[in-house]
Amino acid sequence: MSAQRPLFFYDLGSPYAYLAGERIASVFEAAGAEPPEWQPVLLGGLFRRFDRASWANGAGREQGLREVERRASAYGLPPIRWPNPFPGNTLFAMRAATFAKEIGRTVSFSLAAFRQAFAAGRDLTDPDNVYLAAASSELHPRALGTAVARDAVKRRLREATERAGDLGVIGVPSIVFGDQVFWGDDRLDQAADAVGRSH
């Protein structure tokens, strides 16, 4: 199974996915590459499938937090404000992102939600903070609330997560292009170069 257009797999709870999401358009444009399609997935589902766990729950937590803060500064992004708790439960937020993708608002909603989490320090486990991101990307709260409860949206998110695993994605952020998987914010330029060279 391979992907033709580059795919950007992300979970709104991942600060490294936030760093990648903020830069992805400019990095791909600079490489003369087609920007990836954004695909929301559940990182927790990938953890279960590949028997992995979050670095933020392990011994390297403090080191990881400082590294994210350092990169945000180097990229010229606002200082990281960590939501409490971190990591949180992003199931509601990722269903919202799945709905946003259905109606062509994936990027605007996801960037707004990422910024709520890591620039404003708001916990996306709380639906009210997800609704804030929705409002800023012109998603009506009532429509969103109805959508995230739909079986079709829940199923689409599960299927997207399963497909990501089938493509070799074991964590986020990952960009898949052809049979290559570029995992990590630090491999964004490499992914963009690979896509740029293929055109």
pLDDT digits (tens, 9 = 90+) for 134-192: 999 989 888 999 999 999 999 999 999 999 999 999 999 999 999 999 999 999 999 99
CA distance 95 to 64: 27
The two three-digit tokens of residue 102, written as one number: 């259905």
- What's the pTM value of the predicted model, to 2 decimals? 0.95
**Separation of alpha carbons 176 and 164, rounded Å:** 9
Angle between helices 106-118 and 15-30 (to 10 degrees): 130
Domain limits of the chain? 3-198
Model pLDDT, residue 4: 78
Average pLDDT, the chain: 95
Distance CA 185, CA 54 (A): 15
Cβ atoms of 136 and 120 closer than 8 Å:
no
Rounded Cα distance, 34 and 102, in Å: 21
**How many Cα atoms occupy the beta-carbon half-sphere of 106 within 13 Å?**
16
Cβ pair 68, 79 in contact under 8 A: no
CATH topology of domain 3-198: Glutaredoxin (3.40.30)
Tell me the pLDDT band of 199, cut-offs 50, 70 and 90. confident
Q: What is the mean pLDDT of residues 21-49?
A: 96
* pLDDT confidence of residue 1: 37
